[in-house]
A and B are shown apart, each in its own frame.
Chain A
Amino acid sequence: MAIINQATKELQLKIVYYGPGRGGKTTNLEQVHANLGNVQEKGKLISLATSSDRTLFFDFLPVEAMAIKGFKTKFQLYTVPGQVIYNTTRQLVLRGVDGLIFVADSQYEKMAENAESFQNLEDNLKSLKLNLADIPYVLQYNKRDLASAAPVDYMEFLLNNREAQVPSFTSVASQCEGVFESLNMITRMLLHKNINESSRRTP
Chain B
Amino acid sequence: MAGLPQLIEDDVRALEAALDELLRRSDAGAALVIDKGGPLISQRGAADKFDATTVAALAAGAFSATDMMARHLGETSLSHIYQQGRLVSLLISNVDDNLLLIVVFPAESGVGAVKYYADGAVARISAQMQNAAQRAPGPGVDLVSLNTLDVSPVFRKSG
B72 to chain A, nearest CB (A): 9
Which B residues lie at the A interface, using CB under 8 A? 1, 3-4, 6-9, 11-13, 35-39, 41, 51, 53-54, 57-58, 60-61, 64-65, 68, 137-143, 145-146, 148, 153-159
Across chains A and B, which 3 residue pairs bring their CB atoms closest together, nearest first? Answer: A96-B37, A37-B158, A198-B140
- Cα A48 to Cα B58 in complex, Å, equals 9
- Cα A90 to Cα B144 in complex, Å, equals 36
Other than the known A7-B7, A70-B142, A184-B154, what 5 A-B pairs have Cβ atoms closer than 8 Å? Answer: A4-B141, A35-B158, A43-B54, A58-B61, A92-B61
B139 to chain A, nearest CB (A): 5
Chain A contacts for B154, CB-based, 8 A:
65, 67, 73, 184, 187-188, 191
- Looking at A7, A8, A192, which has the most chain B CB atoms within 10 Å of its CB? A7
Number of inter-chain CB pairs below 8 Å: 149
Chain A contacts for B153, CB-based, 8 A:
180, 184, 187
B20 to chain A, nearest CB (A): 16
Prevailing SS type, chain B contact patch: loop
- Pick the contact of A180: B6, B51, B60, B157 (CB < 8 A): B157
Chain B contacts for A50, CB-based, 8 A:
none
Q: Is A27 positioned at the interface, with any CB of B under 8 Å from its CB?
A: no
Q: Is A68 positioned at the interface, with any CB of B under 8 Å from its CB?
A: yes
B2 to chain A, nearest CB (A): 8
Which A residues lie at the B interface, using CB under 8 A? 1, 3-8, 11-12, 14, 32, 35-39, 43-44, 46, 48, 57-58, 60, 62-63, 65, 67-71, 73-74, 76, 78, 88-89, 91-93, 95-97, 128-129, 176, 180, 183-184, 187-188, 191-192, 194-195, 197-199, 201-203
